[in-house]
Amino acid sequence: MVYFIRRCLHSHSDTLATKILEILAQAMADDSKLLIMEDIVANPPHTRSTTFDMMMMKVGGKERPLHCWETVTRNAGLVITNVLQGTGQLGYLSVIECMKVPDTLN
SS3 state at 67: helix
Q: What is the mean pLDDT of the chain?
A: 86
Using CA atoms, how far apart are residues 27 and 50, in angstroms rounded to an integer? 34
Residue 11's domain spans which residues? 2-100
pLDDT in the model for residue 87: 74
What CATH code is carried by the domain that includes residue 30?
Answer: 3.40.50.150
β-pairing, 33-39 with 2-6?
A: parallel
pTM: 0.84
* pLDDT class of 2 with cuts at 50, 70, 90: very high
Q: Is residue 18 part of a domain?
A: yes
**76 found inside a domain:** yes
Which residues are catalytically annotated?
Answer: 10
Structural domains in the chain (count):
1
105 located within any domain: no
Digit-coded pLDDT (tens) for 6-63: 999 988 999 999 999 999 999 999 999 999 999 888 776 666 666 666 666 666 678 8
CA distance 77 to 93: 23
Cite the DSSP H helix spans in the chain.
14-27, 47-57, 66-75
**What is the pLDDT, as a whole number, of residue 105?**
57
Q: Does the residue 71 lie in any domain?
A: yes
Band of the pLDDT at 85, cuts 50, 70, 90? confident
Q: Residue 91 — pLDDT band, cuts 50, 70, 90?
A: low
Q: Is residue 35 part of a domain?
A: yes
Structure letter (DSSP) for residue 28: S
User: Is the peptide bond preceding residue 102 cis, with omega within 30 degrees of 0?
Assistant: no
- Residue 4 or 45, more confident: 4
